[in-house]
Chain A
Amino acid sequence: MIEVVDVTLLILLSVTALAIIRQRNLFAAIMLAGIYSLLSAGLFVVMDAVDVAFTEAAVGAGISTILVLGTLALVGHEEHKPKHRPILPLFVVTVTGAILVYGTVDLPPFGDPANPIHHHVAPHYLEESEHEIGVPNVVTSVLASYRGYDTMGETTVIFAAAVGVLLLLARGPMPRRVLVGGRWVTVAADADEPPEEGDKGGGDETAEEAEPGGVADG
């Protein structure tokens, strides 16, 4: 029975992938990519990885679809017809795919309990999590406690990604600091005139001394 679900999901996944390739309308392609993520989430559920499925559904099908749609609103809906011939990319993709498939030959069989990954630290986590951590969901105890250091790194990476995106994109709405009557004052980016001296209406005033020439033009 579970094979039927597997095969159905994988066929739908392939059909969606092919549809994305053939689609020139970027809006439709993004919607199909969202469907692709949702189908992947279904596959993860079948493989009993519900936490991963949850993330895939929320991030892949949800947030990233919205973000790419936001990009689309900036750049337009139609993909230009490529000027180059597709032969070289097709060759590169085929060779890469073939190498990857060849690589899977050396992998241990899927789901085999004798696999090395099930004999390193996993037994300890599964058996001792109950006493050491006391959290019923072993995924949480591994993620937040046993591998808490890794998760801290991941959180930092997410933060760094946001800093990168904001540096590239958020130039408009960033506030800027202007010199008014000998003091540095933070004003909104869309304000044309710096506030008058003694104007307390902004609420954003900073009385601290700024470094010389430190006007960050947003």
Chain B
Amino acid sequence: MDDRVILRVGAKMLIPFILLFALYVQFHGDYGPGGGFQAGVIFAAGFILYALVFGLPNVQKALPPKAVYVCSAVGVLLYAGVGYVTLALGGNFLDYGVLRHDPEHGQHLGILLVELGVLITVFGVMVAVFYAFAGRRRLEA
């Protein structure tokens, strides 16, 4: 692995931009194509690229499997949590209008939060599944 200089340097240069692009896709989803799902996949792709070039142990130092498992669950909880908050504020489940005085602002906030939940879960799930596959040894034939 150590002599693949072009791959290592190229990946190192690309990964920050991949992560940044994922955030752009996330927060620009209101205006253009994209959203939590795509952003989560792209964000995970950044880490998977790192794992492919620098090896699984190195990426797991930066992003331990435990953190990834927690991410997968936290996103769903955040999404459902927004639903329960709207219930508590007197609206319907996932009726974001009640989150703010102005229903339109409430919708913005609600969409931002649930898209964040989708991002976190999709990111966690993609990396967790990748870890599960990459962490296994080859079957002895």
Contact = CB atoms under 8 A, between A and B. Distances in A.
B73 interface: yes
25 contacts: A51-B34, A51-B35, A51-B38, A55-B41, A58-B42, A66-B48, A70-B130, A71-B133, A135-B31, A136-B30, A137-B31, A144-B114, A145-B96, A148-B94, A151-B118, A152-B76, A152-B83, A155-B79, A155-B118, A158-B125, A162-B128, A166-B129, A169-B132, A169-B133, A173-B135
A132 interface: yes
Interface string A114-144: 0000000000000000011111110111011
Interface stretch (A20-28, A72-80, A91-99): A72-80
A162 B124 contact: yes
Contacts of B110: 144-145, 148
A50 interface: yes
Interface residues of B, number: 57
B130 A62 contact: no
A159 B38 contact: no
Contacts of B29: 137, 140
B126 interface: yes
Contacts of B104: 131-134
Interface size class of A (residues with CB under 8 A): 35 or more
A166 B132 contact: yes
B83 A66 contact: no
B76 A156 contact: yes
Given A67-B130, A152-B114, A170 B108 contact: no
